[in-house]
Every structure is written in C-alpha cells, then in structure tokens.
A and B are shown apart, each in its own frame.
Chain A
Amino acid sequence: MNILEIKNLTLKKEDKILLNNINMEIWDGYVHAIVGPNGAGKSTLANTIIGLSGYKDISGDILFKSQSIKNLSIDERARLGITLAFQEPARFEGVTVDDFILAGSKEKKSEIIDEALLKVGLDPLKYRSRAVDKTLSGGERKRIELASIYAMKPQLVFLDEPDSGVDIDSVKYIFDLISEFKKLGITVILVTHSPGVLKHSDHAFLLCAGKLICKGEVKKMFEYFTGKCAPCTHIGNPDKENGV
C-alpha cells in the first residue's frame, strides 16, 4: 500500500524548473531514500511535499493516503502525520529541550521526553532544561530535533541529510532511530547524498537536476550512485548519460 503518491509533480521558481514531472510511490512502513548529487533537488522535493513557503508554485499532485494534500498548510499536513527533520535545525532562544520536544508530542508527559532523548543518545538530566539555542552544537540540535520527531510519532517522516553535522560516535544513534521508526510502522524517507546513509534504506530513488532518474532496490541504486554519480562529469545534465 502506498502512503504517499507523487503525480507529475513540477515545481517552478522564478521561471526555473526545480522539479520536473516527478512521479513516485512511497510504500507504507518502509525506509526509502532519495539520493543524488548536490543540487539534484532532493531537499527541494522534501520541502515541496511538506509545503514549506517558497515551494508552492507546483503542478501535479501530492496524495497522502490517497487524498490530495497540495492545498493544505504545513501544520495541516503535520497533523495528518507528515513531518520533516531539517538538514540544519533551527535555533530557539529560550525554548527548552523539554518544551521543544513536547510541542509536537500528543502525549504531554515527562517520560516521553526522557525516552526520546535516550533514543538519540542524550542524557535527559543534562539536556532537558537547556535551551535549543546556540549553546548547543549543530550535532546536538540535530539529535534533539530527531528526539522531537520520535515524540511526535508521525506516520511519514523526511530526514534531510540525517548524518550531517553529527559526530561519528553519535551517527549510530541516528541509524538506530531509523530502525526504531520502521519498527513503529513509521515510513521514513531519507534525503541524502551519503552512500553510508543510503545503506539504511529498503528502497531508493535517484534524482538529478530535478528529474527522477531511476528507482529500485538499494543494492542496485547504491551501485548506480557510487559508480555513475560520483565520477559524473556532466553534473546537472542527466539526459546525456546512457540515454537515461
């Protein structure tokens, strides 16, 4: 069953086509990856599906559980169960980790904060009363953002470059959390240009220059991505490659 369907999705910005007639089907309960080189349109696609400002001049449709969501606001989509962890999480002066995590949680209980922080390898005693501001490192804010998503228990989550800015010892918590999401039945879409992250998915889509180039099982996509995209000499011009 598909939890999300993208139908002929095209996004324009100032007469430039950023997403070009994309069709995708996202199976419910799996870990998917959207891969591609820098500038391929991966984050743009995620932001468009989430409905962020600046990503609204679209044609085509976005169906969540067979219902069009393209005219819904960000928070309406979120209340249906669709959310996003940003590549570079925002800083919130004065907003405590407690308040931030509970903001999106249906359960307004202290226990959920502890549980969520432990899932991302952060000690609740050290972090709960701290502000989600510049006193935290980028990696800490990233893990706290993921903790807030764990507490939210969405149905579909985009994780935009989930390993970026996270130190090597902490990356395992991110990967464990991805597995945990899957166990909980949460559909995950990893937005990444990292082969290491791609390995944690069940299925992948390859984007280049705003176009969907191919899709398939991870092993095949991994070979394609590392074998063809990494050494690519005509970035942003995928049509020249083997007639794709």
Chain B
Amino acid sequence: MERDKILNELLSSIGLHKMGSDIAHIEIHGNQVLGTHLVDGLLVESQSFDDGVNIQIRVKKDTKIKNPVRFCFGLIPENGVQKLNINTIIEENASASFIASCTFPNAKNIQHIMNATVTIEKGATLYYFERHIHGPEGGVTIVPVTKVIVKEDARYSTEFELIKGAAGVIELDYKSEVYKNAVVDMKARIFGRLKDKIHIKEAAHLKGENSVGVLTSHIALKDEANAIVENEIIADAAFARGHVDCKEIVQGKAIARAIPIVQVNDSRAHVTHEAAIGSVDSKQLETLLTRGLTEDQATDLIISGLLK
C-alpha cells in the first residue's frame, strides 16, 4: 500500500498518471525499483542495495521500440540519497527513445548520483531525454557521470533539462567516444536560480572517420547562481566534424564561465566553437520593448526561447 502511495506521488509530481500497455516504463524511488513494465525487445534487470541500485538495460538487436520508454527517478522525502548505476546497451541496428523524469519535489538535502555507461552498437540509435523537476528551494545535489560509446554508424542524442525549480548543485560529466560515421549530439538546458552551482563537463572524442559531435549548453542564470561550462571536442580522424555551442544569459549577481576546448589531430577534420555570455541581447530586448512588453516580460520570453 505504502509502495503504491509513493509510486502515485512520484508519478503525480511529473504529471504522469496512466500509461498504455504499449509504453514501457520503470519507476525508481530512492534505491528501490517500484515498478517495471516492459515491451518486446527491451530487457531490464535491477538489483537494489542499501546504498544504490544497479540497472542493466538492453534493447535487442534490430528492435525498433515504437514509443519512448519512460523512466521516473526520484525521492519524495525531503532528505535522502539516490544512487543509480546504469548500464545501457543498444544492440546492432536497434533504436529507442528514453525519457527520464527526475523528480525531487520536496527536496531539502537530497543527493542524486548516477554512474552510467551507454553503448550504442553498430547502426543503432538512442535518444535520451532527462528532465529534472525540483522544488523552489533547491536542496538537491545532482551528480550524473556518463560514459558513452557510439560505435560505427550509430547515433546518440541526449538532452538534459532543468528549468523548473532551483537546480541546487549540478555536477554533470558526460564523456563520449564516437566511431566511424557515428553521431553524438549532447544538449544541456538549465535555468539556475538562488545560489545554484552548476558545473557541466561534456566531451566528445571523435575517433572515427566522418564522425560528428555537437555539444550544446544553454544556461540562464539569475540571483546568485554560478555556472561553469567546460565542453571539449577532440577530433582524431579524417573528416570528423564537431561544434561546441555555449550560450549563457546572466542576470542579477549570477556568474557564468565557459571554457570551450577544441582540438584537431587530423588536418582533414574540422571543429568549431561559439560561446556567448552576458546579459540579454540588447537588440532582442529592444525589439520586444517596441512591441510593448516590459523589460521583465521581454527577458522571460528571450530566456524561455533559449531554454526551449
């Protein structure tokens, strides 16, 4: 009964109540797996321990999972630790989308730690979207560390979104190795408030010919929030292409720092970067002011666009 109550609360906090039988879903509260519903071609195994939960996810060869697989990770109490060790393998020519909602609606002192390895086998595709929903006061420390291997002709796209609620502390560290003709596309969109501390490290090592890496970080900060974005692309192979894009809008006493690192070890590769940090663009702002929006309304619209 208690289990059902927590499960309902968890799903309610992300606005999810009922899912069809053709939608796979996994719910984890703290270090306990509360619910699992799978579809053909998707294998999930889990082992819970006092200090964490191990999860193995596998999408079988040639399987195309039609509907996004829904993950819900979270903690309802104010305090606690959630430690997830996740090993994901998308087998050859399989494809899937995962949508993960991480919810800590009452957080005061919560740690959400994730150590993940993701292997996208030859010709496979994975789209992974992770949305965090926090309470208004922060109180969450998020430490997602992920290593991704994207094999020949494979594709991996990921988006990390934290827009609602205060971020708390984020230590995001994603590393990827990208092989021949493979693509990695990583995005982070975060709104930092209060005294949030955000540290993003994304790296793509383009090891194979024609491999592609795109790292995008769009951050808006206000109050006394602080963000450091370190995005790195290293291109080792011929015709590898990469782009690093970091945009940060800073308001109030917030502080932003961007460190794009690009390195090319083959003269036939090409990597670019762009970084823009500062207040809201004056031309955008003045355009909206000439439509009659107040400065706050105009700024909100510009930031919502950046984080969309």
Binding site for B on A (CB under 8 A): 50, 52-53, 73-75, 78-79, 83-84, 86, 89-96, 99, 103-104, 131, 145, 148-149, 152
- A98 vs chain B, min Cβ distance (A): 12
**Is A94 a contact of B283 with CB atoms below 8 Å?**
no
CA distance A73 to B293 in the complex (A): 11
CA distance A115 to B284 in the complex (A): 24
CA distance A89 to B218 in the complex (A): 22
**Is A92 a contact of B305 with CB atoms below 8 Å?**
yes
CA distance A75 to B289 in the complex (A): 5
- Which B residue's beta carbon lies closest to that of A78? B292
Contact (A99, B284) CB under 8 Å given A75-B289, A84-B290, A93-B247: no
Chain B interface mostly = helix
**Is A94 a contact of B306 with CB atoms below 8 Å?**
yes
B18 near A: Cβ within 8 Å? no
Interface residues of B in 263-308 (CB under 8 A from A): 281-284, 286-295, 297-298, 301-302, 304-308
CA distance A95 to B306 in the complex (A): 8
Chain A interface mostly = mixed
Interface residues of B in 225-259 (CB under 8 A from A): 247
**Is B284 a contact of A74 with CB atoms below 8 Å?**
no
- Report A-chain residues with C-beta under 8 Å of the C-beta of B290: 50, 74-75, 78, 83-84
- Report A-chain residues with C-beta under 8 Å of the C-beta of B288: 103-104
CA distance A99 to B286 in the complex (A): 16
CA distance A73 to B294 in the complex (A): 10
Contact (A78, B287) CB under 8 Å given A92-B302, A95-B302, A131-B305: no
- Report B-chain residues with C-beta under 8 Å of the C-beta of A94: 304-308
CA distance A94 to B191 in the complex (A): 15
* Interface residue from B287, B292, B293, B295 paired with A90 (Cβ < 8 Å): B287
Please list the 9 inter-chain residue pairs (A to B) with the smallest Cβ-Cβ separation, ordered nearest first.
A104-B291, A94-B305, A95-B305, A94-B308, A78-B292, A74-B289, A90-B283, A75-B289, A79-B292
- Which A residue's beta carbon lies closest to that of B292? A78
- Report B-chain residues with C-beta under 8 Å of the C-beta of A83: 290-292
CA distance A228 to B198 in the complex (A): 62
CA distance A75 to B291 in the complex (A): 7
**Is A93 a contact of B306 with CB atoms below 8 Å?**
yes
Count the B residues whose beta carbon is within 8 Å of the partner chain — how many? Answer: 25
Interface residues of B in 108-137 (CB under 8 A from A): none
**Is A92 a contact of B286 with CB atoms below 8 Å?**
no
- Report A-chain residues with C-beta under 8 Å of the C-beta of B287: 86, 89-90, 145
- Report B-chain residues with C-beta under 8 Å of the C-beta of A93: 218, 247, 305-306
- Report A-chain residues with C-beta under 8 Å of the C-beta of B295: 75
- Which A residue's beta carbon lies closest to that of B247? A93
CA distance A75 to B287 in the complex (A): 10
Q: Which of A84, A90, A99 has the most CB of B within 10 A?
A: A90
CA distance A79 to B288 in the complex (A): 12
CA distance A5 to B297 in the complex (A): 30
**Is A90 a contact of B291 with CB atoms below 8 Å?**
no
CA distance A78 to B305 in the complex (A): 22
CA distance A92 to B281 in the complex (A): 9
CA distance A152 to B293 in the complex (A): 11
- Which B residue's beta carbon lies closest to that of A99? B301
- A99 vs chain B, min Cβ distance (A): 7
CA distance A91 to B281 in the complex (A): 10
CA distance A90 to B285 in the complex (A): 9
**Is A73 a contact of B289 with CB atoms below 8 Å?**
yes
CA distance A83 to B293 in the complex (A): 12
Contact (A52, B286) CB under 8 Å given A93-B247, A94-B307: yes
